Amino acid sequence: MLRSRSPFRWNLFAAGMLALVVVVLAGGLMARAQEKEEPDASPFARKMKAPSLDGGVEWVNTAGPIDLKELRGKFVLLDFWTYCCINCMHILPELKKLEHAYPNEIVVIGVHSAKFENERDTQNIRDAIERHEIEHPVVNDSRHVLWNKFEVNSWPTLCVIDPEGNLVARNSGEIDFETLDAFFKKVLPYYRDNGLMKPSPPPLTGKDAGYMPPETALLYPGKVLADEKANRLFIADSNHNRIVIAKLDGTLVDVVGSGELGAADGDFKTAQFDHPQGMAFDAEKGVLYVADTENHLLRKVDLKKKQVSTIAGTGKQARLNANEFVAGAGPGKLVGRALKTPLNSPWALWLRNKELYIAMAGPHQIWRMSLARNDIGPFAGNGREDIVDGPHLPSAPYELGSSSFAQPSGLASDGKVLYVADSEGSSIRAVPFDTNQPVTTVVGTAWAPQGRLFLFGDADGQGQQVRLQHALGVAFHDGKLYVADTYNNKIKMIDPAGGTSVTLAGTLEPGKTDDPPTFDEPAGLSYAAGKLYVADTNNHAIRTIDLKSNKVATLDIRGLAPPEVKQRVAPPSFPGAIPVTLPAATLKPTDGKVRLQVDLKLPAGYKINPIAPLRYLVTAAGEAGPIDRAATGKLERIAEPAASFAIDLPAKAAGSENLEVAVAYYYCQDGNEGLCKAGSVLFKVPVTVADAGEAAAPLSFTVTE
């Protein structure tokens, strides 16, 4: 989300002009990385010493603060982002590809410089890191100290620091892996040829610590859809990459999707999704439509046949707006064939007659798909990220004088008007189905002469008094709008006729209590049978609000469990483990167990990193022996990592056998936990279990610096 958007930005991207560029900060000039004319010629004509990373509030997803001096010999890519921003979300998978392609040459560091007040909180940033499955370190720059040091003025912005510690390039806006890859392939040879590259493992992150998502039945559910007549509740279990179907009372009915990340069509057990969000249900046909957000697809779930199919999108993010397929065709005619038209983060759906309306968050527009004709295109919004009322569509993309939206993320309707939770503008919009009527704002910031995307807060009242903070969900019932005021952790009720707003439930403070009712970034809402159903995203739960009593409850989805998917983070192996053969030990069982005492002797000034993983694996030769085989062959983790720890093994009988104990550990200098060294050792020890034995077998190893 750029602070100031050029109407030509996306067109430049389409033309291939959004390549990474060198920036002269003093003069604000830009030039491409110069061609390499001779072996020792620097690829950058101009560069400056990079500022330090001091000034952040807290480091997240890593073991401690990171000093750029410790990263000499590697490229550092700073990603200035804020977790509300759809453009920031789009480049996260591109950065992940880059990290995997250059694991020892490039370090990506996220600099989270918040837009919204709620985004300043470190715990909320942690949730966002988990939700987006970010694998690199992130610093909370809530005071915008680093933002100002690096002279950033928009989200997302990438800053490149070379292996000598110089700031050499930057890019504002979205960018893809192919462009980044081409850039680094061009400049890396100079640093390699001149001995300036020092490849090494990246700083420790949550991935290295063996992070696995919480074992909750739901994982960051984004949207919920309740249908009273069908007695059905559909839940977008977004980070489990599946759709959960239950009765309104929580009784589990079915699960759609294997849980594996992907875009495969097929039956309920094999179909795949990628962080699905909004849904729409056709009860007559028994069909559920799903916004498969990060696949940039629309999916159809046939509940009778139990089959999933793709109905719109190509599987690749649209990098252009609607004029890609029919340029200048005029309002209401910018359409393309559904399966040949690339989409851009479809976030919410609404079904009316045989037309599917889509909150297309990426291009800041409302789209419409004709299910009868299988064509799709913009219905409202000129593609400018803003909160502006007016005619649905311009005669040309980005043209002023028509409506603008800002990351629309929720849809509801009274039959005549489509209500939109317009998240980046913290506004609720009204889009008439009659295109002769203008788009208007129910509550929000359209009235402001400027800075409309930065007017937010938490204020009930009427008209211009009302403030929301990044509202993601909206539902309509009995003349009232119910809003998931996401970053205020509240559910609010709005009278669209009078433009008034009142808080129905929740407080500014996040929580998961029913009495008093608290929420944690609720994102989806739906009404059925006297209740509001709330997707309480960061609480991994569905909550209900009884509209007569205002009582809040947490819905128990009985029988629902996390999907059985392949482990996303592979357990550490023990490559290069130093073998240590120890003398035979005779051990006396205590309470049916024998003890191995591991002692890692570290260099002076070093310590075991207390928040990095310390794991071990015990293996025993042969199929039988005195050590219980159920206790061997499994990767175990020490809960409180330390240089000295005990391993207790159940012993079933007396006897002898050979054990191997592999230990993987991280150690770092006192006061510098951001950059640690990794080590592993393989102890080989013959063991005899007997009543006349010792209390423990010493497994000692001296670690060299």
For 678, residues 6+ apart whose C-beta sits below 8 A from its C-beta are 201, 664, 665, 666
Query: Would you state the pLDDT for residue 1?
Result: 60
Residue 202's pLDDT is 77
Three-state DSSP state, 187: helix
pLDDT of res. 41: 78
Q: Which pLDDT score is estimated for 671? A: 67
* Torsion sign across C-alpha atoms 653, 654, 659, 663: positive
Average pLDDT for 300-308: 98
pTM of the model: 0.81
Query: Quick one: CA dihedral 526, 528, 531, 537, positive or negative?
Result: negative
What is the pLDDT at residue 672? Answer: 62
The chain-wide mean pLDDT, for the chain, equals: 88
Neighbours of 569 (CB within 10 A): 15
Give 485's contacts (C-beta < 8 A, 6+ positions apart).
458, 468, 469, 471, 491, 492, 506
Residue 325's pLDDT is 39
98 neighbors 110 (Cβ within 8 angstroms): no
The radius of gyration of the chain from alpha carbons, rounded to an integer in Å, stands at 28
Res 206: pLDDT: 67
Q: Distance (Å, rounded) from C-alpha 24 to C-alpha 68?
A: 20
Q: How do residues 659-694 score in pLDDT, each as one tens digit?
A: 999 998 888 877 665 566 778 899 999 999 999 899
CA distance 205 to 110: 12
Average pLDDT value for residue range 278-305: 97
Between helix 86-101 and helix 177-193 the angle, nearest 10°, is 40
If pLDDT is split at 50, 70 and 90, which confidence band does 561 have?
very high
CA 224 to chain centroid, in Å, comes to 19
pLDDT at 632: 87
Give tens-digit pLDDT for 401-432: 999 999 999 999 999 999 999 999 999 999 99
- What domains are defined for the chain? 9-193 (3.40.30.10), 224-321+334-554 (2.120.10.30), 578-702 (2.60.40)
- Encode pLDDT of 45-99 as tens digits: 889 999 999 999 999 988 778 899 989 999 999 999 999 999 999 999 999 999 9
First-to-last C-alpha distance (Å) of the chain: 45
Q: Tell me which residue of 557, 565, 547, 538 sits closest to 480, measured CA to CA.
A: 547
Task: Kindly report, residue by residue over 89-124, the tens digit of the pLDDT.
Answer: 999 999 999 999 998 899 999 999 999 999 999 999
Distance (Å, rounded) from C-alpha 105 to C-alpha 214?
31
Q: Is the pLDDT of residue 27 over 70?
A: no
What is the percentage of the chain residues whose pLDDT exceeds 90? 75
The letter for the amino acid at 284 is: E
Residue 271 and residue 258: Cα distance in Å, rounded? 6
Give the pLDDT band (50/70/90) at residue 212.
low
| 42: three-class secondary structure by DSSP | coil
Look at residue 199 in the predicted model and tell me its pLDDT: 86
Rounded alpha-carbon distances, angstroms, from residue 114 to 22, 32, 376, 478, 516: 25, 30, 35, 37, 29
